[in-house]
Amino acid sequence: MRLSVEKDKLKFVLLEGIHPSAVEALNRDGYQQVAAYPKALAGEALLEAIGDAHFVGIRSRTHLTEEVFARAPKLVAVGAFCIGTNQIELAAAAKRGVPVFNAPFSNTRSVAELVLAEIVMLLRGIPHKNAVLHRGGWVKSAANSYEVRGKTLGIVGYGHIGTQIGVLAEHLGMRVVFHDVEAKLPLGNARPLPTLDDLLEAADVVSLHVPETPATQNLIGAAQLAKMKPGSYLINASRGTVVDIDALVDALDREHLLGAAIDVFPVEPQGNDAAFVSPLTRFENVILTPHIGGSTSEAQESIGREVAAKLIRYSNNGSTVSAVNFPEVSLPEQHGGTCRLLHIHHNVPGVMARVNERFSAAGINIAAQYLQTTEHVGYVVVDIDAAASQVALNELCAVEGTIRCRILY
Ligand SMILES: NC(=O)c1ccc[n+]([C@@H]2O[C@H](COP(=O)([O-])OP(=O)(O)OC[C@H]3O[C@@H](n4cnc5c(N)ncnc54)[C@H](O)[C@@H]3O)[C@@H](O)[C@H]2O)c1
Ligand SMILES: O=C(O)CC[C@@H](O)C(=O)O
């Protein structure tokens, strides 16, 4: 696949109501062909929208599968305007030479603040009391109403969000324990616990902050809920697949848990006009939120700018720093009189030798060359004399093992 399209002809498609800050950043940099859609698309509608796009931006609800990549042959890069990238088949993207960029911490604080507020609300029984008053009732009682001070918060997944919550919770006087599959520096007085079971047995509130992976599928099921203290609480603002909802319903029915706060669901509506169906809706002691942990004005504006900047940087100069599925190369600006060629290839022996042999045979002098590889993909960037640009592009595209090549204007 060869791409030599001038900047103002590159087409961006942004789905899922991505913040206007992204469009503004793209327009400001000279990208005028930006189509923005308010919600997620699937099936034929998705293929139709992105079939001739060079760049696609999504959030958590659009699924970019192997099949979708196969039907979007012009795609140069994907922006996930969020933290999670589980909705994208990353290996399929890399195999086609498509880097994926995300915003790894622009909404971290927003999620942490929501979870902190939910801890207080749950321990005071506010969701139920609020519902009763909305129905015209009155329930002035201290039964099952607790301060958070001195209680133990168990954080599963002590990454960006988990650590922020731990720090904030300590300011409220909570004890913090955490469990992670990696060794992590404990912040403040947080204590690591060696197993998930240890954490479940110790915590008054369990909060989940792991990514969606095969290992975290139903991480919290009937056996894990049974390990939790009677009268404790569960919070899930990570991914819907992490909790077995039927098992949670059972634990709530038996009043083994006193409440829960759930922001993410195994199946989520495609947009605000679609119905939300869940067996959890009948529990007044459960806070249900529509996957808005990271949905604040501050976070969304910042994500829009951040991911747009990464797409612009890749488009303008080839840098792939912080791509989640791709060799990372940080590139300087080009020198005057040179042009830059990007070559993405299968990471097999001999490709670089063939690139250099072809350039040498064609008499093309290399001003600078940058290479990085991952297990399956190699990414080489070559700066050459601008006068030789088209010859060099032809030579590069003819190299055996090429996935795609692109020239930067
Ligand atoms: N509700 C929302 O709106 C919202 C917003 C942002 C992020 N998220 C979700 O939250 C997740 C966490 O975000 P983050 O920025 O803290 O990610 P992160 O990568 O910084 O941290 C995740 C942590 O989980 C750990 N982990 C992975 N598998 C584990 C397992 N089986 N058991 C214990 N620990 C495990 C990792 O080692 C890592 O420390 C994201 O992947 C995303 O899915 C949701
Ligand atoms: O904005 C979204 O749709 C996803 C938010 C959150 O789950 C994330 O992964 O950052």
Distance 107 CA to ligand 1 centre (A): 12
Annotated active-site residue 239? The verdict is yes
Strand partners, 13: 35, 56
Q: How confident is the model at residue 335 (pLDDT cuts 50, 70, 90)?
A: confident
Q: Which of 60, 86, 301 to mutate to test the pocket of ligand 2 (most atoms within 8 A of CB)?
A: 60
DSSP string, 131-200: HHHHTT------TT---STTPEEEEES-SHHHHHHHHHHHHTT-EEEEE-SS--PPPTT-EE-SSHHHHH
Active-site residue (options: 24, 113, 170, 268): 268
Q: The whole model's pTM is what?
A: 0.95
DSSP 279: G
Least distant ligand from the CA of 212: 1
Annotated active-site residue 124? The verdict is no
User: Mind listing the pLDDT tens digit for each residue in 297-318?
Assistant: 999 999 999 999 999 999 999 9
Cβ(194) – ligand 1 distance below 6 Å: no
The one-letter amino acid code at 189 reads N
Annotated active-site residue 291? The verdict is yes
With a cut of 70, say whether residue 2 has pLDDT above it.
Answer: no
Distance 294 CA to ligand 2 centre (A): 6
User: Whose alpha carbon is nearest atom 4 of ligand 2?
Assistant: 60
Which atom of ligand 1 is the closest one to the Cα of 264?
1
- Average model confidence (pLDDT) across the chain: 96
pLDDT of residue 7: 84
Residue 190, phi then psi, degrees to nearest 5:
-60, 145
Cβ atoms of 80 and 54 within 8 Å: the answer is: no
Cβ(99) – ligand 1 distance below 6 Å: no
pLDDT of residue 90: 98
Alpha-carbon distance of 375 to 350, in angstroms, equals 15
